[in-house]
Structure 1
Amino acid sequence: MRYVFLTLLSVALFSCGSNQDKSATSNLDDKLPKFEFAEDIKNFDFGTLTAGKEVEHSFKFKNAGDFPLIINNVSASCGCTIPQWPREPIGPGEQGAILVHFNSKGKQGQQFKTVTIFANTNPATTDIQFKADVEAAKDSTAASSL
């Protein structure tokens, strides 16, 4: 009987400890830095572009967490896309921006690109996705010979 009681007591204490650990982890996750973007970052549309045109957009965000937001790196899915980001920590409640520059030279048709942000957030990566419809440039030599 004593063995059963001790076993039940151990299980009860262990499960209480596990809940406290989960609660502490969940509270910490709530305080971690968080991106809060001012717009939809999954469907930005540059619209229709003529091949060779360069465009850029600034994706503005706020750190909605309780700790400084540190962006470790930002990478693009293609060499035609160049991201720029703040190198200094973004404090709680402060704002920042990721500037995305897209060069449509050599592109044609629907373009879907991804820019991945690596930061001290949970999850550790955040994706910005954009699209553009690139039309072939009109041949200027054919028009001038008429």
Structure 2
Amino acid sequence: MKRILFFAVFSFISFISLTAFAQKGPKIEFKAKDNTIDYGKVYKDNDNGVRVFEFTNTGDAPLIITNVQSTCGCTVPSKPKEPIMPGKSDKIEVKYNMATGPIRKSITVETNAVNAEGGKVHLKIKGEVLERPEVNLMEKKKVGPMQ
């Protein structure tokens, strides 16, 4: 009797768990690992600062991006204007102003996605912007002791 009762309770809990995870609605899945794009070490004069976060609506309803905002004015994100249909992909473009120094910025994406807590997804950009040292052709070259 205990085995039957245990099996019935276990089956009921498993059924409830499966239905809870099989959410209906739009779902957003970003292609970037950990929702982060790493600029690496880039030179200010060689890079326009634009990066793209690609995503797919893996749900069964249209995905709507209602807002995309950055933690500061040095990073400007742009969002899709139209709903993204199930199975379709789109992108969020981010332009960093390439100020010299480390890059550590966050972008918050507000959606109607059921797989994101409160519909919000946090994206990150990181890296370092370098400035090329100026070469003065008029400066005398230093000669080592062996030369």
Using structure 1 for the length normalisation, give the TM-score: 0.70
**Contact 1:43–1:131 (CA under 8 A) maintained in structure 2:** yes
Match of 2:128 in 1: 133
Give a deviation string over 1:1-57, Cα, whole Å, max 9, x none: xxxxxxxxxxxxxxxxxx9xx88x937x71121111223143321111234643212
Q: What are the ranges of 5 or more consecutive residues in structure 1 without an aligned counterpart?
A: 1-18
**Contact 1:50–1:135 (CA under 8 A) maintained in structure 2:** yes
Question: Does 1:104 find its partner at 2:98?
Answer: yes
What is the aligned-residue identity percentage?
32
C-alpha root-mean-square deviation of aligned residues, in Å? 2.5
Q: Secondary structure at the match of 1:65?
A: coil
**Contact 1:63–1:94 (CA under 8 A) maintained in structure 2:** yes
Shift of 1:130: 1.4
Using structure 2 for the length normalisation, give the TM-score: 0.69
Instruction: Figure out how many residues of one structure are paired with residues of the other and give that number.
Output: 120
Q: Secondary structure at the match of 1:67?
A: coil
Matched AA of 1:117: V
Q: What are the ranges of 5 or more consecutive residues in structure 2 without an aligned counterpart?
A: 1-12, 140-147
Greater per-residue helix proportion: 1
Cα distance in 1 for partners of 2:132, 2:60 equals 49
Give a deviation string over 1:80-122, Cα, whole Å, max 9, x none: 11111111111111111111111113x32x2211111001123
Cα distance in 1 for partners of 2:35, 2:65 equals 19
Question: Does 1:121 find its partner at 2:113?
Answer: yes
